[in-house]
Structure 1
């Protein structure tokens, strides 16, 4: 910060004298020049008193310092955020507890092998939110053309037959096959959310299913350009989530992890989320899903799935739970 930007808080004559006699032009110059006594010795006699110079130096230090925050206020804010997160449910309490709920201004990564229940979990979370909040809407970005309107209708009717049409009207599906198209949609959404004339249900949840084909083709072991593009895109998602209070779910594919994945609590996990190790740190939570053996009960045979937290800003890592998927609906085991 240049000292002349602080005039008239600091006398203009003093700023000129500091520049001419000491070469001090910025906050860094004056704070690291030496003691106030060293500075005043170089100034013309009568320019400023020692006490006033110390006062002005203190003022400069306060202006350029980061604001302080009390620990108890930070704790209260985090507790409030966690409480709001927990109010948004996917319909399976054990899964909600793993990640502290599926709400809040967060970017949540769901990864796992094909058939592990990634899309089913994301879709059920969105439907539950739309049923619970009639003033909210959701944006589903389909990057593979696999979105099933038929399954969505069945899921909505399962949770609330009476509201099925209203819920479906508030779920917008966009088909995008490249990163530029996704960016265009997100920019249009940002402009819409920023508009004071925005009426009707507001987008509160975004799902990208999946993010892998958007970013993977650009990643290379011999160039950093793809990684820079991925970092920029994920930073834009985080800023969008935090600015407008959105929950953004990104579904990610997998890659090999030989001999096993150290982030998992199970040595039998030999896969890991795709897009490289740094991608995990670009989201607020990484939830890993996998399918295990089929189990037979009074209702018939159903597959048991495991959900595990690889990393989270709000809950413990390497915690897990089981759930089942029957007729594309998630429920406790």
Structure 2
């Protein structure tokens, strides 16, 4: 920061004298030049008093510093956010505990191979939230055209037949096949949420299914442009989440991990989340899903799955639990 930019907090005459006599032009020059006494010895007599120079130096340091926040204030603010947007259960208690609950101003990455239950988990969490809060709605961004309104309606009816139609009215689905279209959708949402004229249910959940085809084609080992685009996009998501208290779930594909994925508690995990190793640090939690086996049952066949936390800002990594999926509904394996 150039000292000229903080005039008139410090006199313009002093800024000129510091430049001419000491070569001090920026805040770094002033703060690391030496003591105030060393500086005043080089200035023309009568330019400034020692006490005033010390005061001006403190003002410059204050302007150059990042504002500090007390931990108890941050904790209290987080608690208020959770009160306004309570945690949502996915229907599997152990899975809720694994990630510290679904909800809050967080960005979740849900990754795993095809058939592992990624979309089923995201859809069930969203439906549970819409059922519990009639004043909220959710935005589902479909990047592949695979979203099924019929299957979603069937799933809602399994939870609550009486209000199924009203719940579906609060689930907005947007087809976006490229990153520019998603940017437009998110910007329109930001403008809408920022408007004081917004009435009715507000968006509190966003699901991006999936993020992989949007970003993977741009990533290259010989160019940083794709990585920069990915970083910018994820920052936009995080800013949207924290500004408006929105929970965001991004569904990610997989890539090979040789000989195995070291982030996993299981040596048998030979896949890893797509989009490179840095992507996981752009979210608050990376949840890995895998399918173990299909089991026939007189009440209807079901599949057993494993959910594992690869990385989380709120809970321990390399922790896992099992769950089952029957007719698209997640439930605890203890219900067997």
Partner in structure 2 of residue 143 of structure 1 = 143
Comparing 202-211 with 157-166, greater Cα deviation is found at: 157-166
Q: 1:137 to 1:9 in 2, by over 3 A?
A: same
Comparing 87-96 with 146-155, greater Cα deviation is found at: 87-96
Deviation at 1:86, TM superposition (A): 6.3
Q: 1:85 to 1:314 in 2, by over 3 A?
A: farther
Q: For 1:127-276, list aligned pairs within 5 A.
A: 127-276=127-276
CA distance in 2, matches of 1:71, 1:242: 17
Deviation at 1:19, TM superposition (A): 3.3
| CA distances 1:215-265 after superposition (whole Å, capped 9, x unpaired) | 111222222222222222112111111121111111111111122111111
Q: 1:225 to 1:4 in 2, by over 3 A?
A: closer
* Pair 1:327 & 2:327 matched: yes
TM-score, length-scaled by structure 2 = 0.92
Does structure 2 conserve the Cα–Cα contact (< 8 Å) formed by 1:211 and 1:251?
A: yes
CA distance in 1, matches of 2:174, 2:256: 30
Partner in structure 2 of residue 93 of structure 1 = 93
CA distance in 1, matches of 2:30, 2:225: 40
Comparing 155-164 with 76-85, greater Cα deviation is found at: 76-85
Number of aligned residues: 333
CA distance in 1, matches of 2:19, 2:39: 11
Partner in structure 2 of residue 23 of structure 1 = 23
Q: Specify every segment of 5 or more residues in structure 1 that has no aligned partner in the other structure, as ranges.
A: none
Deviation at 1:287, TM superposition (A): 0.5
CA distance in 1, matches of 2:192, 2:286: 29
CA distance in 1, matches of 2:215, 2:45: 65
Q: Specify every segment of 5 or more residues in structure 2 that has no aligned partner in the other structure, as ranges.
A: none
Does structure 2 conserve the Cα–Cα contact (< 8 Å) formed by 1:31 and 1:57?
A: yes
Does structure 1 conserve the Cα–Cα contact (< 8 Å) formed by 2:106 and 2:241?
A: yes
CA distance in 2, matches of 1:262, 1:175: 35
CA distance in 2, matches of 1:17, 1:222: 49
